[in-house]
Amino acid sequence: MDMDKLVSLCRRRGFLFQSSEIYGGLSGFWDYGPLGVELKRNIREAWWLDMVTAHNELVKSPGAPSTYEMVGLDCAIIMHPQVWKCSGHYDLFHDMMVDCRQTKHRYRYDQVRGRWAEHRGQRVFIATVAEHEAEDMSQRAQKFFKLRAKEADQIVWQGETTSLDKVKDLSQVFAPEATEIGTLTEPREFNLMLETCCGAIKSDENKAFLRPETAQGMFVNFKNVTDSTRVKIPFGIAQIGKSFRNEITPRNFTFRSREFEQMEIEFFCHPDTSREWYEFWRDRRMAWYTSLGLASNRLRLREHPPEELSHYSCGTADIEYAFPFLPPGEFGELEGVAHRGDFDLRSHMEGKLVKNAAGCLELELGADGKPVQKGSGRDLTYRDDISGERFTPHVIEPSAGADRATLAVLCEAYTEDQAPDDKGAMQTRVVMKFHPRLAPVKAAVFPLVKKDGMPEVAKEIYAALKQRFIAFYDEKGAVGRRYRRQDEAGTPFCITVDGQTLQDGTVTIRDRDTLDQSRVKSADVVEEIARRVEG
C-alpha cells in the first residue's frame, strides 16, 4: 500500500490534519477531523467496553488464572514532580541524540543509519534517516564525491548498512542533510519529558511536567482505589488519556507524535501468579487487535530478550504491526505488555530504586548514604482478607497507543478494487474496509432522486438511525458518486430509497465490501443495521 495515498485520503476526507496547518504545521502534532474523531473514539470505546465495562468479574475469562475485577480512572495530566523522580522518568527517560552543527538538525542516535562508501581513496560514512535508505544513500554519496548519476558505479560500498553507534569516529560521517563531513556532535542524553510551569513565577520550584505516560496516575491512586471500592486483588485499573513526549524526530505520520493518547491497564496481582497473568494479558491483547480486523499476518508478538528489558521489567512483549511506511519485513510497536514486578508501588513507597549486583531492586543511595529520592512514605502494600498475608502486588501493564491503533486500522482498511460505475463500466474504487464496529459512519441514507417523496422517506430513516448510530444523509449527485464517497469514508452500509420503496415500503441496503444489495422493509432498517454492525 502506498502511504502517500493514505495520507492524502486522510486529509481530503477529514480523518487527519496536520496541527496548526494554516501556520505551516507543528512537527509531531496532529488534529483528527470529523471522520477521524469518530474512528478514534470508536477504538477507544471498543477498548473500554471490551476491557472494562463488558468484563464480567463473576466468570473466569478463557486463559485467566482466576476471576478478576476492572475499574477505571481519569487522572490529571500534570502530577507532583516527585512522581517522575520516583518513577525513574526524571533521570532515565531519555533518548541519545546527536546534533548537526551545520544544519542545526537533531537526530535520535539509534535512528541514524548508514554505510561506508569509498572513492579515490576517500572513505566516508554516508548517514541517512530516510525510509528508502538505499536510494537516498546512493544519491548523497554522489553528491559528496561530486559525481554524476552515470558515475555512481565508481563508488565502492563497504559492508552492510549499520547504525551510527557502530561508527567510532564521527568526523568521518556525512550527516543526513549536511553538505560537509564531520558535522555531528558526540551523542548526548535528551530527556523526553515536556516541561511546563505551574504558578505565576517561572522558577525551578514551579517546574512541572506533562505526563509521558498515563500509568503513574494509576500507581499513585492504588490505595485510593482499594479504599474507595471493594476491589480485591487480582484487579486492574484502566485509563485512557493524553500523554506527551518531546520526541527528537517525530515521524511516520502519527506513529511517533509529541502529543498522543494511551489506553493503559495496570493489573495488580499476587507475585506468585504474576507470570500467568502476564501471559494471559499478552495473549488477550493480541487477540483484541485481530478481533478488530487487523490481519494476523501483519501482526506479531515479540517477546523482548532479557537485555532489552526496561530497568524494572522481568518480562515484556510488544504487539507489533507491519506498517506500510516501514521497510519490508519490519514491524512497529502498537502496544507493550510488561511485567513490571513490584517496581512501581515500591518506588512510590520507598523512593528511587535501582537494580543491585544480584539483580534485586534497592533504594538508590547518594554519596552521603541517604536516598537520592525519597518516596511518598505511604503504605502501598495490600493485605489479603482471607489469608491475612500482606504483600506488595506485582503489576502487569498492557499499554496501548490509541493513535497507533488508529493508524494501523487506517492502513489495514485502505483498499483499491474494481467496482462498476453508474453506467456499469468497471472502475478502480478506493474503499476503507473498516470493521463495522470501528467505522466512523455506520450507514448513509440516499433518496435515489430528489423528488416523488423519496427525500421525505429517506429523511425519516435517517432520523431513526441517528438515535442509535452515526448516520449520514446525502441527496446530491448521481447515486454511484454518493456510494463512492461513502466507500472512501468506510461507511459499511448505504440505504437507498427508490421507486419501489414508494410501492412496497422496502429500501435497498448496499454492503460496502461485497457490493451486494438486499431489500428490507424501511421499518426494519434500524434493527437490520444494528444486527449487521453489532454482529
Binding site for ligand GAP (CB under 6 A): 213, 215, 245, 247, 256-257, 260, 262, 264, 333-336, 397, 399-401, 403-404
Question: Which residue, among 191, 242, 202, 187, has the nearest Cα to 85 in the 3D structure?
Answer: 191
Distance in angstroms (rounded) separating the CA atoms of residues 300 and 323 = 12
Kindly tell me which of 217 and 436 has the beta carbon lying closer to ligand GAP: 217
Cβ neighbors of 480 (< 8 A, separation 6 or more) are 421, 422
* CB of 373 vs ligand GAP, minimal distance in Å: 19
Minimum CB separation from ligand GAP for residue 351, in Å? 20
Measured between alpha carbons, how far is 308 from 397 in angstroms, rounded to an integer? 17
Q: What is residue 535's three-state secondary structure?
A: coil
Give the Cα separation of 445 and 525 in Å (integer): 11
Query: Between 405 and 445, whose beta carbon lies closer to ligand GAP?
Result: 405
90 Cα distance to chain centroid: 23
Residue 89 vs 512, nearer CB to ligand GAP? 89
Evaluate whether 13 touches 489 at the Cβ level (below 8 Å): yes
- 86, 351 in Cβ contact below 8 A? yes
C-alpha cell of residue 528: 437490520
State the Cα–Cα distance between residues 400 and 100, nearest whole angstrom.
33
SS3 393: coil
Q: Given the complex with ligand GAP, which of 264 and 412 has the nearer CB atom?
A: 264
Query: In the complex, what is the shortest distance from the CB of residue 18 to ligand GAP, in angstroms, rounded to a whole number?
Result: 15
Q: What is the nearest approach in angstroms of ligand GAP to the Cβ of residue 209?
A: 14
Cβ 315 to ligand GAP shortest distance, Å? 14
How near is the Cβ of 81 to ligand GAP at its closest, in Å? 18
Q: Are 391 and 270 in contact (CB under 8 A)?
A: yes
| Comparison of 242 and 390: residue with beta carbon closer to ligand GAP | 242
Q: How far is the CB of 194 from ligand GAP (least distance, A)?
A: 11
Q: Which is nearer to ligand GAP, 314 or 520 (CB)?
A: 314
Shorter beta-carbon distance to ligand GAP: residue 155 or 409: 409
Tell the smallest beta-carbon distance from residue 317 to ligand GAP (Å).
Answer: 11
Least CB distance from residue 403 to ligand GAP, whole Å? 5
Give 125 or 209: the residue with its C-beta nearer to ligand GAP. 209
Minimum CB distance to ligand GAP, residue 493 (Å): 31
- Of the CA atoms within 13 Å of residue 195, those in its CB half-sphere come to 10
- Listed as own residue / partner, the contacts of 522-529 with beta carbons closer than 8 Å and 24 or more positions apart are 522/457, 522/460, 522/461, 522/497, 525/461, 525/464, 525/465, 525/495, 526/461, 526/464, 526/465, 526/467, 526/468, 529/442, 529/443, 529/465, 529/468, 529/469, 529/493, 529/495
Residue nearest to ligand GAP (CB): 401
Q: Which is nearer to ligand GAP, 6 or 215 (CB)?
A: 215
Give the residue from 240, 190, 217, 208 showing the smallest Cα distance to 46: 240
Q: With beta carbons less than 8 A apart as the criterion, state whether 326 and 300 touch.
A: no
- Extended strands (E) in 343-442: 353-355, 361-363, 382-383, 390-391, 394-401, 414-420, 426-432
Q: CB-wise, 211 or 437, nearer to ligand GAP?
A: 211
